[in-house]
Every structure is written in C-alpha cells, then in structure tokens.
C-alpha cells in the first residue's frame, strides 16, 4: 500500500509560504528521489506505509556563516548568508523532503527557531550543545551550536535518549558531541536507535575521529534494545577511506552499512563543495547515514551532478549550507 506523505496539512501550507517569501531567490537546487528497486525517479510525496524517511544535514551555523563571510565563503553573495534568509531556506529544504527523522549538525538556533518551527508541524526535537562551541567566539552569537534530532510524532514516540560528550585522545572532554535516541515506530511496532554526531574537522585529527567513533559505537550498543536496529547520521569530516568510516562496518560493537553504498553501490563524488580564501576549492564526501543490516534502503535523493552545481558552489543563492542534505528511505528487511 502506498500513501501520500505530505505530512500534516500545515506542512504544505508552510512550504507554500516559504516559497512565496523567497520568491526573489532562485529555486532550491533541484534534486530527485530515486527508487532503489526500479532505479526510476518517484514522487517525493509518496512512499509505502512500511517505509520511513531519514534526513542528515549539516545546516551551517549562523555564527560561522554571518560573522566572518569573507573568511569562510569568499564567493557566496552576502544576502545568501544572512540568517533571515538562510533560516527560511533551511526549513524549505527540510519540508520539501518531509522526513520522519531529521538529524542536524551546527545548530545554533535550536530554541529560537528550529524547535518552535518544527514543533508546530508535528515534530519533537532533542538537542545537545557543544561544550566549547566555536560559535561562542563571535560577537552577537546565538549560543553554542550542537547536534539536534527531530522525529515525526505521528510516526515515532520517544522511549529515551542520551547526550554524549565525546572525549579527546587524553580522555578529557572535547568539543565534539553526539545524541542517541531510542524511538518506537508506531506503524511497524519496532524499536529504532537513532544517533547523530559531528566529528572534528581537519586531516590532523584522523586519530581523534577514530577514537570518538569507537566510543560512540560503544555508547550506541549500550543503548540498544532487543531489535538492535540502528541509524547513525553525521558529519564525520572523514572521507570514505578514512579509518573511522571503516570502523563503522567492522567493529566489536555494532556493524553498520553505508547508505550511499547500499543505495547505489558507491559513495557520491561530494557531499560538501565550497571555496575558501585564496580560491581554495574544497570538495569532499564526509556526510553519512549508516544503518544496521536489518534495514533496507528503498530510495534516496540524488546528489546533484558536478555540472549542475552553481558556479560559486555552496552555500549560494540556491542553497543555504555548505553541505548537501542526505535523504534515504528505509524499511525493515
């Protein structure tokens, strides 16, 4: 049985209002949903009752984009970085895909924007702030950024959740955080353990990412219910060949599968693409949704082809973050 998945009627109404408020901007980057069974494009508004949709997205913290735009995003028009515009565009991106679970990183407007906006539309949200958030060093910041997890209360109910403060190589608390939530799927009568994490950037922190990935998997294992079903979302700041990504698939705790590979047999060419100072072009695949083997990927939203990306890359007038959202449909296999 296939059902319309427009969410609550209010979601479509809000999406229409957002599109009207942003009518002076070009449309969002065009992306399509592909069925894994047929490899054909399918409607975003339809999926089977047994399926649930997960979105993973580093939304780009306001303080990091608006406080030093010439330092961070040298080719992005200033108007595209203004929070008054980016907040609308980010909600537009979320509602376009109508996910059941939303995992976000670099959230520094949780209480004043994302929580009230999404709560009105049938989502409940959880948030864990970074201990030493880089956002705090900027004047007029909105508080620390962190990881957030939202779930559609019509589909899921919260059983419990754990805030995870990840440690550094010396065993001291670091700035990296994660959040783990056990959700009950009201449609399937199954338990789903959802995690969201944001690991340290830069090549020199490979060992730290590996340690923190191992610690996070241990925490997830300790949180698992009898179903042992896991979705782990995150900006790992690690290419697929890096040890922390290999760890996800081979470890002593809970072995997970890469949704990119499950859906297409390979990782995308990029999940983030931007210009830094001195025209340094940064193009990486560092964002992931990992899943346990008893979940099957049934559909995915395509990453744009390189040729269709805006000349100034990300963020831009067509997109509010330097990372693309990842969207996958799952069912119990």
pLDDT band at 66 (very low <50, low <70, confident <90, very high): confident
Tell me the average pLDDT across 99-104. Answer: 98
Contacts of 286 (CB under 8 A, 6+ apart): 235, 236, 237, 238, 239, 271, 272
The Cα–Cα gap between 287 and 270 comes to 9
Nearest to 103 by CA among 231, 217, 215: 231
Tell me the average pLDDT across 69-89. Answer: 86
Confirm if 311 and 49 have CB atoms less than 8 A apart: no
Tokens of 97: 């895909």
pLDDT of residue 333: 81
pLDDT (tens digit per residue) in 209-259: 999 999 999 999 999 877 889 999 999 999 999 999 999 999 999 999 999
pLDDT of residue 69: 52
pLDDT of residue 1: 40
pLDDT band at 29 (very low <50, low <70, confident <90, very high): very high
> In what order do the strands lie in the sheet containing 41-42?
41-42, 33-35, 295-301, 326-332, 52-58, 101-107, 146-152, 123-129
């Amino acid at each position: 049985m296939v059902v319309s998945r427009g969410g609550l009627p209010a979601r479509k109404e809000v999406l229409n209002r957002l599109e009207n408020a942003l009518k002076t901007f070009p449309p969002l980057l065009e992306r399509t949903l592909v069925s894994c069974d047929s490899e054909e494009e399918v409607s975003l508004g339809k999926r089977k009752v047994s399926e649930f949709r997960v979105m993973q997205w580093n939304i780009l913290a306001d303080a990091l984009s608006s406080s030093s735009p010439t330092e961070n995003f040298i080719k992005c028009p200033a108007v595209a970085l203004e929070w008054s515009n980016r907040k609308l565009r980010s909600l537009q991106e979320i509602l376009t895909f109508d996910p059941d679970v939303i995992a976000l990183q670099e959230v520094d407007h949780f209480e004043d924007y994302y929580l009230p906006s999404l709560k009105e539309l049938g989502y409940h949200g959880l948030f864990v702030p970074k201990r030493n958030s880089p956002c705090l060093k900027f004047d007029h910041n909105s508080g620390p950024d962190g990881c957030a997890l939202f779930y559609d209360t019509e589909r899921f109910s919260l059983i419990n959740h754990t805030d995870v403060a990840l440690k550094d190589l010396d065993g001291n608390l670091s700035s990296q955080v994660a959040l783990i939530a056990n959700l009950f799927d009201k449609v399937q009568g199954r338990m789903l353990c959802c995690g969201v994490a944001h690991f340290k950037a830069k090549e020199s922190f490979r060992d730290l990412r590996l340690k923190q990935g191992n610690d996070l998997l241990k925490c997830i294992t300790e949180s698992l219910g009898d179903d042992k079903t896991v979705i782990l979302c995150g900006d790992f700041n690690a290419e697929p060949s890096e040890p922390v990504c290999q760890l996800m698939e081979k470890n002593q705790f809970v072995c997970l599968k890469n949704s990119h590979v499950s859906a297409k047999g390979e990782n995308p060419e990029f999940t983030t693409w931007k210009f830094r100072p001195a025209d340094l072009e940064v193009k990486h695949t560092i964002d992931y949704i990992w899943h346990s083997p008893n979940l099957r990927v049934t559909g995915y939203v395509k990453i744009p082809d390189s040729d269709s990306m805006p000349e100034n890359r990300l963020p831009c007038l067509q997109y509010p973050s330097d990372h693309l959202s990842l969207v996958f449909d799952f069912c119990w296999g």
